[in-house]
Amino acid sequence: MPDIVVCVKQTVDVYQLKPHPETLEPVFSQAQSKISDFDLNALEEALRIREKGGGRVSVVSAGPSINQLLIRETLAMGADEAHIISHPLLSTYDGRVTATVLSKLVEKAGRWDLILCGEASLDNSDYQTGPRLAEIFGVPHLAYVTKLEISDGRLKAWKSMEDGLHVASCSMPAVVTVGLEINTPRLPSLLMIRAATKKPIHEYRLSDLGLTEEELNPSVTLRELKALKVERRRVKLEGKPEELAEKLADILVREALAR
Amino acid sequence: METPFRETYALMPPGTDITMYIVLTPFAALFIYGIYRRLRFYGLETAWAEIFRDIPKRLSLMARYALLQRRVVEEKVAGLMHVMIYAGTIALFIGTALVFIDYDILRLLGGSLLRGDFYLVYEFSLDLLGLAFLAGLSILAYRRAVRREARLRPKLEYLLTVAGLLFIGVTGYVLEGLRLSINPRGWGGFSFVGYALSHQMAAIPGVDTRLLLYQSLWWSHALVAFAMVAMIPYSNMLHLFTTLANTYFATLRPATPGKMTTPFRLDEVDPSAEIKLGARKVSELSWRQRLGLDACTDCGRCEAACPAYAAGTPLSPRMVVQKLKSEMWSGGDRDWFEEGVLEEDEIWACTTCAACVEACPVLISPLEYILEARRALTLEGKLEKRKVAMLTNLARFQNPYGFPASERSSFLEELYSMGVKRADEVSEAEYLYWIGCASLYDSRSREIVRSMVKILMAAGVSFTVLGDDEICTGDPARRIGEEGRFQELALANIERLKKVKAGKILVHCPHCFNTFKNEYTDFGLEMEVVHHSQLIGMLLREGRLRLSRPLAERITFHDSCYIGRINNVVEEPRQVLSMASKDFVEMARRGRRSFCCGAGGSTYWYEVPRRERESVIRLEEAVKTGARTLVLECPYCLQMFNDAVRIKGMENTIQLRDISEIVAECL
Ligand code: SF4
Ligand code: SF4
């Protein structure tokens, strides 16, 4: 019966981001926020483990202003409780700050055997949180996991790497980071979301976690964020299929050489 | 001539009557126990008060569909077969009952019924209907053994039933023949079949042999008849009773298959209350739904009508009902999906087209069970990606496509520049034109709106639109089983609609139409709902619209399920099209018997494994008419057939147009 903590991040829905036509900076005001996709996979995996072997699933989340409604969705999916902190300073952060704050929330969640995280976040894609948490707690870390099994208190993970599939195992406690392939997260129905108001969301202040504002200063700062401008060439080829294929091949070769 | 009379037990040894009743007892007990057990399965005992409500209407349903078998006879061969067996069975039953009255009651009182002319009529009618009975059984055997109709499932139980019935019918005549050969009577000719047989029987040498034969056949006839009766509650023969009950209680179903039940009201339930929705176990069905399972005769008509079955998906509505029926009969209460009673894809393949509901002769709605199962599956939330995506889109963007509202602003601007006014800009209008998500976001479907605006303006109809206030009606959420999300959208829409100063809603999307007309009423919206095909029809009839340039080319028309079959709007579009083209031809399946394009019931939003597409099957039917244009009345049909045309490479063979586009062109 492993007790599991799942780290979830609220991010802006990057698919809705449009660049400002002149500055090319993303217009955040138009986009809604959501739980980072990979984190939902992590939560789904935790819930499936609990369905098989029992245990408790807690969700932790930190950010500049956590939307309780989104946290409620994770509870509606089946998490038992949530531990969250909102602090304005968390609007600028780096992997170190995030992992530090999350580790404090994990401690608040109580005893745990497994921490599950998305391998990266939808917005920043830093791939930092999981490994750093493992480092802080001094436990093994399995990354890029596409299939996870637990037997006799040990984890067995299938990791899809560039050179093929790695199968690794380790003891618990441990940190596991997962990607989109591992499962399809369940969708809580509206009734479930409403019913989840009964489940506890514990909200903390910085001091509750034993942290100071200095500790939230990131070591890495973001200088500039701009959209890549992509334009189609709008070249139209005409002719018979054979000729077209030839023309297309020519263009591709020319382009490749030009690079 | 001596007065004719019925000779009961005539050639049997004395005491046969007593023996027979002793032998009958265990069979009767088995029958009674079986019926009792069935009633326990339905849980009818909890619903007995329901029996006495609404009696005249229910009796009339029962009379029409069960006793007179209105739908059974819609099919010629199957209908004739059933009516003959049905009439024969009833005649044999009444015949036997009269013998009982005559011998076991009246005789003891010193009277008699089966004598004189009445007896002669009795004998003649029984012989005649007995022939009908055998003829019906022969058609049955022909359909199963020779024609081997795909929708008739072979099953040992059915074989035994037919064998039993045949045995009873044939031995009845043989007994009659033997009796008349041993004991000729002057009135024997009235039992004309038995009489004819008696000459053959006379060829059997020795009266004693014939007597022995008679007595043993008599017992075997009786034993088989008893066994058949005893088996009624344990076999498909139970439909004798369950179809009566199911048609009687059919008023408890929603009035149209386009209306789903409202199991709770989002604005009334306690937010934190846990609500159970749908069914994934027999015990989670209502007693009426369990009774419905038992009324299924396995006739397969629903399957033959089902587009999802024709497309080779895992779904057959008949099998859904039959599998749930067996599950109920097994007496267990397993989870359908965990225990493999049903496959999830079976449930997801349904387009909610209601062809099965329309086809079922005994008023079962296979669709109802499918929708219950969907609600249970969706409540659990373990859906595959595309369903999750659609529902997430509805939650976040209030449209199933997942486009932000900004995506439609240029189109709305275009409408405003055509002179269309928003509801908050006008003091009053006759119609609120509800555009629907398909036409707000899909470029092809926007053409329908452009044509409609042209038509409305040409006819001088006052109308307005909601503009940015329009969000999805919630139909895809409801049909996929996400009742909460549906109600959230519905309640938001109704609040806005109530503020609009227009008496009627005009829609061109059949799904929006159905939702407004049949489902929003549960949430307090009372507005007249008009489909664009109806409005155009009315404008033409009233002369407010004139088609100055009718088309010369051949056109045909595909009824959308939610307008034609489900909401019974069949005539108006046809009137319009016969005015719009001099060469309007029909496909074989049309009107209420139309064949779904494959997009309904949310199936537009996800994929189910299949051999073929419904839209392709239907497109081929349309092409067969020789029409150059297939006219549609639904934006989703339009998109489905668009795909079908591309898949078949038929861009040059047939064009797809909405009815409004045709009319706008003829103006
Ligand atoms: S509603 Fe249509 S698709 Fe669904 S089972 Fe019935 S006939 Fe088949
Ligand atoms: S549900 Fe109705 S149509 Fe379908 S097999 Fe049963 S009785 Fe026949």
Range of the domain at B298: 275-382
Contacts A52 to B, Cβ<8 Å: none
Q: How far is the CA of B368 from the centre of ligand 2 (A)?
A: 13
Task: Tell if the CB–CB gap between B396 and A32 is shorter than 8 Å.
Answer: yes
Q: Is residue B261 part of a domain?
A: no
Position B111 scores a pLDDT of 87
Same domain, B503 and B565: no
Evaluate if residue A29 carries a pLDDT over 80.
Answer: no
Residues B368, B294 share a domain: yes
Percent of chain A with pLDDT over 70: 100
pLDDT higher for A28 or A41?
Answer: A41
Examine the fold and report which residue of B538, B556, B582 is the final residue of a domain before the chain moves on: B538
CA B234: distance to chain centroid? 24
The domain in which residue A95 lies consists of 4-209
**CATH assignment at residue A183:** 3.40.50.620
* pLDDT at res. A232: 83
- Between the CA of B137 and the centroid of ligand 2 the distance, in Å, is 20
Q: How many CB atoms lie within 10 A of CB B518?
A: 20
Question: Does residue B594's CB lie within 6 angstroms of at least one atom of ligand 1?
Answer: no
- Which pLDDT does position B1 carry in this prediction? 60
Q: Where are the alpha helices (DSSP H) in B103-155?
A: 116-141
Token pair 């299949």 in the structure block, residue: B610
**How far apart, in whole angstroms, are the C-alpha atoms of residue A36 and residue A33?**
9
Please say if the pLDDT value at position A125 is more than 90: no
Task: Output the CA torsion sign for B220, B226, B227, B228.
Answer: positive
What DSSP letter does each residue of B26-85 carry, written as one string?
HHHHHHHHHHHHHHHHHTGGGGGGGGGSSHHHHHHHIIIIIIS-TTGGGSHHHHHHHHHH
C-alpha atoms less than 13 angstroms from C-alpha of B386 in its C-beta half-sphere: 9
A257 occurs within a structural domain = no
Rounded to an integer, what distance in angstroms lies between the CA atom of residue B10 and that of residue B171? Answer: 17
Stretches in chain B below the pLDDT threshold 50: none
Tens-place pLDDT, residues B226-243: 999 999 999 999 999 999
Which protein residue has the closest C-alpha to ligand 1 atom 7?
Answer: B306
Q: Do B77 and B174 fall within a single domain? A: yes
Amino acid at B374: R
Q: Are A55 and A150 in contact (CB under 8 A)?
A: no
Would residue A233 count as lying in a domain?
A: no
Residue A230 lies in a domain: no
Angle at A229 between CA A226 and CA A235, to 5 degrees: 175
Co-location of B532 and B546 in the same domain: no
Q: Is B371's C-beta closer than 6 angstroms to any atom of ligand 1?
A: no
Whether residues A16 and B277 touch (CB distance < 8 A) is answered with no
Question: Rounded to whole angstroms, how far apart are CA atoms B503 and B501?
Answer: 7
Q: Is residue A229 situated within a structural domain? A: no
* Residues sharing a CB contact under 8 Å with residue B667, sequence separation 6 or more, in sequence order: B454, B455, B458, B545, B546, B547, B548, B549
Here the CATH number for the domain that contains residue B432 is: 3.40.50.1860
Q: Is residue A224 part of a domain?
A: no
Q: Is residue B524 part of a domain?
A: yes
- What count of CB pairs under 8 Å joins A to B? 59
Is this model's pTM higher than 0.80 or not?
yes
pLDDT of residue B392: 94
Amino acid, res. B474: G
Examine the domain organization and report whether B375 and B427 are in the same domain. no
CB B490 within 8 A of CB B455: no
For residue B41, is it within any domain? Answer: no
Say what the pLDDT of residue A26 is: 82
Ligand 2 atom at shortest distance from the alpha carbon of B298: 5
The residue that leads in pLDDT, A93 or B551, is B551
My answer on whether B530 and B549 are in the same domain is: no
Chain-centroid distance of CA B601 in Å reads 16
Chain-centre distance of CA B84, in angstroms?
A: 23
Cα separation of B418 and B319, whole Å? 52
What is the pLDDT, as a whole number, of residue A17? 78
Written as one string, the DSSP assignment of B508-557 is S-HHHHHIIIIIGGGGT---EEEEHHHHHHHHHHTTSS--SS-EEEEEEE
> Is residue A217 assigned to a domain?
no
Identify whether A167 is part of a domain. Answer: yes
Give the residue-averaged pLDDT of A230-240. Answer: 83
| Res A176: pLDDT | 96
Looking at the structure of chain A, the number of domains it has is 1
Pair type for strands A164-171 and A201-204: unpaired
Report the nearest-CA residue for atom 5 of ligand 1. B317
Question: Domain for residue B650, yes or no?
Answer: yes
Contact at 8 Å (CB) between B647 and B620?
Answer: no
**Cα–Cα distance measured from residue B222 to residue B237, given in angstroms and rounded to the nearest whole number:** 18
Measured by CA distance, the residue closest to atom 2 of ligand 1 is B353
Judged by CB atoms closer than 8 Å, whether chains meet at A197 and B380 is answered as no
For A190-230, write each residue's pLDDT tens digit. Answer: 999 999 999 999 999 999 999 999 988 888 888 888 877 77
CA distance B74 to B33: 36
Tell me: do B150 and B295 sit in the same domain: no
Domain at B621, CATH number: 3.40.50
Q: Please check whether residue A242 lies inside any domain of the structure.
A: no
Total domains in chain B come to: 4
CATH code of the domain containing B299: 1.10.1060.10
What is each CA distance from B643 to B601, B614, B630, B637, B650, in whole angstroms?
Answer: 18, 11, 14, 10, 10
Task: Specify if B9 maps to a domain.
Answer: no
pLDDT at A25 over 90: no
Count of beta carbons in the 10 Å neighbourhood of residue B6: 17
Residue B394 lies in a domain: no
* Residues B280, B367 within the same domain: yes
Region A150-162 average pLDDT: 90
CA B404 to chain centre: 39
Q: Which CATH number does the domain housing residue B194 bear? A: 1.20.950
Same domain, B151 and B220: yes
Are residue B545 and residue B440 in the same domain, yes or no? no
Give the integer Cα–Cα distance in Å for A88 and A68. 16
Query: Which ligand 1 atom is nearest residue B596's CA?
Result: 2
Same domain, B184 and B98: yes
Whether B295 and B210 share a structural domain: no
Of B509, B538, B567, the residue that ends a domain is: B538
CB contact under 8 A, B484 and A34: no
